[in-house]
Structure 1
Amino acid sequence: MIKWAGWIIALCGTAHTVGALTVEKAGRHAGTWFSGGLWNEDLADMSPAGSAYWLSLDSFGIPLVLIGLTVLWLDRRGITPPAFIAWTLGAWTLVDAVILPLTPWPLFLLACALLLIGTRRARRDNPTPEVGLDERYETP
């Protein structure tokens, strides 16, 4: 379940970023981005190039890829990802669902549910012994 959650999160982040650059044609503004055309951009009154930048490269797509890959990396090493990743992403997803109902928020909610179920199962199956600070740093 954890693996599926990681893949869903990473693929959605990739799809958002690549889709914005290609399908939404944000990439056509790259010349403006890399020539300093956004340096004096007013966020309250964005230009088409500024809007395209925030939709693509500066969106949450790339961090979602990193979150998904981190979850996969942890899972491959037998480390249970912390539940706060799922809870935080889930809260953000619910806000997104209220504000923009025609987004792929159900996929993120599915990923969050899978991640929470997977972390609970992993903790149930492999409970971590409670070790005090004194025991952790004792020398043999």
Structure 2
Amino acid sequence: MIKWAGWLITLFGAAHTVGALTVEKAASHAGTWFSGGLWGDDLAAMSPANSAYWLSVASFGVPLVVVGLIVLWLDRRRITPPPFVAWTLGVWTVVGAVVLVATPWPILLLANILLLVGARRTARHGNPAPHARTTRTPQETAL
């Protein structure tokens, strides 16, 4: 379940970013982004280039890819991700769903549920990090 959650989070973030850059044509504003054209832009009255930037590169897509990859990395090492990851993403997902109903938020909600259920099952069946050392070596104790 945790692996599925990690993949869903990663794919959601990647799809959002790539979709914004290609389908929404945000990448067509890259010249403005990299020439300093956004430096004096007013966030309250966003230009099309600034709006495209916040929809794509500066959006939640890239951090979601990182969170998803961290979940997968932890799962490969048989370390259960902390529940606050799922709870935080879950609250954020629900807020996003209330603000913009017509988005693919159910995918992230499913990932959060899988992450919580997977973490709970792992915790119930023993040590969530079976390879973690619980004792110190004499050399570590001397430090």
- The equivalent residue for 2:56 is 56
Cα deviations by residue, 1:9-32 (Å, 9 ceiling, x for unpaired): 000000000000000000000000
TM-score, length of structure 2 as denominator length = 0.90
- The Cα shift of 1:127 comes to 3.5
Identify the residue that residue 22 of structure 2 maps to in structure 1.
22
- Aligned residue for 1:97? 97
Deviations 1:56-106 (A, max 9, x none): 000000000000000000000111100100000000000011000011110
Offset from partner CA, 1:110-139 (integer Å, 9 cap, x none): 0000000000111111236xxxxxx85684
Amino acid corresponding to residue 95 of structure 1 in structure 2: V
Q: Which residue of 2 aligns with 1:36?
A: 36
CA–CA separation in structure 1 for the residues paired with 2:104 and 2:4: 16
Letter of the 1:64 counterpart:
L
Aligned to 1:116: 116
Between the two proteins, the alignment pairs up a number of residues equal to 135
Q: Structure 2: which 5+ residue stretches go unaligned?
A: 129-133
Distance 1:25 1:125 in 2: 48
Matching residue of 2:131: none
Aligned residue type for 2:111: A
TM-score of the superposed pair, with normalisation by structure 1? 0.91
In angstroms, what is the RMSD of aligned CA positions?
1.7
| 1:24-67, Cα deviation, whole Å (9 max, x unpaired) | 00000000000000010110011000000000000000000000
Q: Secondary structure of 2:44's match?
A: helix
Aligned mates of 1:108, 1:56 — CA distance in 2:
18
- Give the Cα–Cα distance (whole angstroms) in 2 for the partners of residues 125 and 97 of structure 1: 33
In 2: Cα distance, 1:4 partner to 1:127 partner: 21
Secondary structure at the counterpart of residue 122 of structure 2: helix
Q: What is the alpha-carbon distance in structure 1 between the residues aligned to residue 84 and residue 16 of structure 2? A: 23
Amino acid of the residue matched to residue 116 of structure 2? L
